[in-house]
């Protein structure tokens, strides 16, 4: 075994190695937690989440305020939906509001708009459902950053240590 006499440099190297190992362990545990969070909170497990993934979710902003009529963005989105409806097996989801009659009117409006374009919609293909909660995506985004940030900071600090290595003074030699 090689024995190195204790010095400030060897203590520092030992501490940095220990911190590096700890951060690697915490990163691994964070990855497991992130995978569990992703599996539990995955918004694609709902009709609204699957519809949002493929662009088949018509949120409140796709309609004129308090009305069943489509806004310009909503009409554009419905045109895109109409072009893909035969290829995508996800229901068209109208996001719920606090007014059930308005929700049903919006669903009927979507159905009639598609029929005007010559698209036959099977019963049950246009549904009213809750959209995925925005906080879920925010939470998963924060969790992703929290998972990797400590390791990135540690690696940047390691790079700074290498970048700020001192030059040996006169009459001294550099020992690595």
Residue 1 counted as domain residue: no
3-state secondary structure of 168: coil
H or E element at residue 49? helix 47-54
Q: How much is the pLDDT for 103?
A: 93
Residue 176 has pLDDT above 80, yes or no: no
The domain tally of the chain equals 1
Residue 63 counted as domain residue: yes
Residue-wise burial string across 42-70, b where 16 or more C-beta atoms lie within 10 A, e elsewhere: ebeebbbbbbbeeebbbbbebbeeeebeb
Residue 2 has pLDDT above 90, yes or no: no
Residue 66 counted as domain residue: yes
Q: What CATH code is carried by the domain that includes residue 106?
A: 3.30.1330
CA angle (102 as vertex; 100, 103 as ends), nearest 5: 65
Residue 117 has pLDDT above 70, yes or no: yes
Q: How much is the pLDDT for 100?
A: 92
Residue written as tokens 């072009």?
83
Q: How much is the pLDDT for 150?
A: 85
- Residue 101: which domain range? 43-134
Q: How much is the pLDDT for 128?
A: 93
- Residue 114 and residue 78 in contact, taking contact as beta carbons nearer than 8 Å: yes
Residue 141 counted as domain residue: no
Separation of alpha carbons 104 and 82, rounded Å: 20
Q: What is the pLDDT of residues 126-162, one digit of tens each?
A: 999 888 888 888 888 899 998 888 888 888 888 877 7
- pLDDT band for 171, please (50, 70, 90 cuts): low
Separation of alpha carbons 74 and 59, rounded Å: 9
Residue 161 counted as domain residue: no
- Residue 56 and residue 81 in contact, taking contact as beta carbons nearer than 8 Å: yes
Evaluate the CA torsion angle 132, 97, 72, 135 in order and state its sign.
negative
Residue 165 counted as domain residue: no
């Amino acid at each position: 075994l090689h024995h190195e006499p204790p010095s400030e440099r060897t203590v520092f190297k030992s501490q940095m190695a220990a911190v590096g190992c700890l951060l690697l362990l915490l990163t691994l545990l964070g990855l497991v937690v992130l995978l569990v969070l992703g599996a539990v909170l995955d918004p694609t497990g709902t009709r609204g989440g699957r519809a949002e993934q493929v662009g088949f979710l018509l949120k409140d902003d796709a309609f004129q305020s308090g009305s069943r009529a489509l806004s310009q963005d909503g009409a554009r989105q419905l045109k895109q939906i109409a072009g893909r409806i035969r290829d995508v097996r996800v229901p068209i989801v109208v996001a719920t509001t606090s007014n059930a009659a308005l929700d049903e009117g919006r669903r009927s409006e979507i159905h009639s708009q598609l029929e005007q374009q010559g698209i036959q919609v099977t019963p049950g293909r246009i549904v009213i459902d809750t959209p995925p909660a925005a906080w879920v995506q925010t939470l998963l985004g924060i969790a992703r950053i929290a998972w990797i940030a400590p390791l990135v900071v540690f690696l940047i600090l390691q790079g700074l240590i290498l970048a700020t290595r001192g030059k040996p003074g006169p009459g001294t030699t550099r020992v690595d």
